[in-house]
Amino acid sequence: MTSDHPILYSFRRCPYAIRARLAIARSGLSVELRVVVLKDKPAEMLKASPKGTVPVLVLPASTEKEGRVIDESRDIMRWALRQNDPDNWLCSDDPGLLWQAEALIQENDFVFKQHLDRYKYFERYPDRPQSNYREQCEVTLIKLERLLEQHRYLVGESCSIADIAIFPFIRQFAHVDREWFYRAPYPALQRWLDQHLNAELFLNVMKKYPPWQPGSQVIMFPSD
């Protein structure tokens, strides 16, 4: 069954999926949302993106210019924001800030995320204690704390794609041991995280929906 709207395969708690939904919601675009059960991924999603990770955005045939399938969260964010970016998350007036933002996202995705997985799932990595993996994560936390001591957001006084792309991963880190995180010497980072967690945009994109299966009622995202 085809759709006139882009189709977004997503999983509620996945940080990659969260940041994609945030960008889509803020852009004002509308997509058909299909919630995935990771242990039972729909064949339609796997056909579109055999690597089997969320999010996956399947575009209607009429939008071939952008590519039929977008299955990297950063690319989905850019796809949405290039169409409409009301808060200038892409720093269109300052390429230098955008470069800084992209560098922070790159470090988050390829360095911090690796340490975060080991910290969260330390039982799978018994070579070292959990505290060791947390210390490795703190290299990034310290860097973010210093940036947030200088200005309200990661690359300046306005929110950018870096803040939106990174905070779901800091959220995931904080949830591993909330007591430790909120006792740790990162007050600026804690304030920044809480600001995002309490934002209406985040609360809206975290609404719960039933898992999708063929024949399910269409769910448009964002919802009213």
pLDDT higher than threshold 70 for residue 63: no
What is the per-residue pLDDT for 56? 98
Query: Cα(126)–Cα(168) distance, rounded to whole angstroms?
Result: 26
Mean per-residue pLDDT of the chain: 95
Alpha-carbon distances of 99 from 22, 59, 168, rounded to whole Å: 21, 28, 20
pLDDT higher than threshold 80 for residue 3: no
Residue 224 — very low, low, confident or very high, per pLDDT cuts 50/70/90?
low
Of all residues in the chain, the percent with pLDDT exceeding 90 is 93
What is the per-residue pLDDT for 2? 57
- Mean pLDDT for the stretch of residues 179-195: 98
| Reported CATH class of domain 7-86+205-221 | alpha beta
Query: Cα(175)–Cα(195) distance, rounded to whole angstroms?
Result: 16
pLDDT tens-digit readout, 8-47: 999 999 999 999 999 999 999 999 999 999 999 999 999 9
95-202 maps to CATH 1.20.1050.10: yes
pLDDT higher than threshold 60 for residue 78: yes
Query: Cα(39)–Cα(122) distance, rounded to whole angstroms?
Result: 21
pLDDT tens-digit readout, 130-174: 999 999 999 999 999 999 999 999 999 999 999 999 999 999 999
What is the per-residue pLDDT for 148? 98
- Mean pLDDT for the stretch of residues 186-190: 98
- Mean pLDDT for the stretch of residues 189-197: 98
What is the per-residue pLDDT for 223? 84
Q: Which residues contact 131 (CB under 8 A, 6 or more apart)?
A: none
pLDDT higher than threshold 60 for residue 217: yes
What is the per-residue pLDDT for 4? 84
Give me the residue spans of the domains in the chain: 7-86+205-221, 95-202
What is the per-residue pLDDT for 1? 47
What is the per-residue pLDDT for 83? 97
Residue 65 — very low, low, confident or very high, per pLDDT cuts 50/70/90?
low
- Mean pLDDT for the stretch of residues 99-103: 98
Query: Cα(126)–Cα(103) distance, rounded to whole angstroms?
Result: 31
* pTM greater than the 0.75 cutoff: yes
Whether the Cβ atoms of residue 82 and residue 43 lie closer than 8 Å to each other: no
Q: What does the angle CA 137 – CA 205 – CA 177 come to, to the nearest 5 degrees?
A: 30
Q: Tokens 């779901």 — which residue?
A: 168
Residue 61 — very low, low, confident or very high, per pLDDT cuts 50/70/90?
confident
